[in-house]
Amino acid sequence: MLIFSRRNLPKEKLEISAKTRFVCSTLLTETSKNLESLGLELISSVFPFGADGTRKWYEDISRVFGISDERFHNAVTPAYERAESTVKKYKEIFCGKNFFFFPDSQLEIPLARFLSTELGVSLSEVGTPYLNKRLLAKEIASLPKGTLIVEGQNVDQQIERCFDASPDMTVCGLGLANPLEAKGMTTKWSIELVFTPIHGFDQVGDLLNIFAKPILRNQQLNFKVDTEQEVVS
């Protein structure tokens, strides 16, 4: 099996057989196309975000290679239970909260699936700059029925929908974060999710903290600013 996290790998370094399979990040569309053109088969799964998502990722890979259920459970269960326990500690913070994703990182759909299925978050809109339906097939299928997925950017319209939705958390790029915060919205920078290790069982706490900190900060402040009122010094 091959796991790729970068775009270009010389063909001469690949040892391909009839049993060669690969998993691939949603960021690497061209890489996945190139590998499939060489005869490699994609292992379709959700991405390893969260406890359940990471378990499903390992499970889908293990089944392709004929790993027995007993061996899989023995290998994965201890780490899964630790991650699951971490998720449960945070669930009260997130359950019932409403999230809005602006298109920015291409991680929006996997993150939305994690937040909705494991933490009880509702999704006003999930925007993504590019939608690779093949790589994201299981992610899309795992989203709550009726979830609005928007491909590409029409910022003016998306901002209007965001204001109408009045979400508890808006996930967006740096250029939108400060203006939205000035209007009283709670935001999280998409770029932080790209550069922070958030994959797998061991990083579940880090992933949860990224989203929890702004929510907890607002709860501690416990006041609202009237953004329409002019402040005169």
Within the chain, where are the H helices?
29-37, 50-64, 69-94, 108-119, 137-142, 155-165, 174-182, 190-195, 204-221
Task: Look at the chain and report how many structural domains it folds into.
Answer: 2
Both 76 and 20 in a single domain? Answer: no
pLDDT of 19: 74
- Cα(53)–Cα(122) distance, rounded to whole angstroms? 17
Q: What is the CATH number of the domain that holds 174?
A: 3.40.50.1980
Both 167 and 96 in a single domain? Answer: yes
The reply to whether 228 falls in a domain is no
Do 56 and 45 touch, CB atoms closer than 8 A? yes
- Cα(171)–Cα(127) distance, rounded to whole angstroms? 10
The reply to whether 53 falls in a domain is no
Both 88 and 196 in a single domain? Answer: yes
The reply to whether 200 falls in a domain is yes
Both 136 and 173 in a single domain? Answer: yes
Q: Running DSSP on this structure, what letter comes out for residue 232?
A: -
Both 93 and 36 in a single domain? Answer: no
Per-residue pLDDT of the chain (233 residues; tens, 9 = 90+): 554 444 455 555 667 777 788 888 777 788 888 888 888 888 899 999 999 999 999 999 999 989 999 999 999 999 999 999 999 999 999 999 999 999 999 999 999 999 999 999 999 999 999 999 989 999 999 999 999 999 998 999 999 999 999 999 999 999 999 999 999 999 999 999 999 999 999 999 999 999 999 998 877 765 554 444 444 43
pLDDT of 232: 41
The reply to whether 67 falls in a domain is no
The reply to whether 66 falls in a domain is no
Both 27 and 90 in a single domain? Answer: no
What 3-state class would DSSP assign to 187? strand
- Domain of 38 in residue numbering reads as 1-43
Both 39 and 83 in a single domain? Answer: no
CA distances from 175 to 143, 155, 164, 172 (A): 27, 11, 20, 8
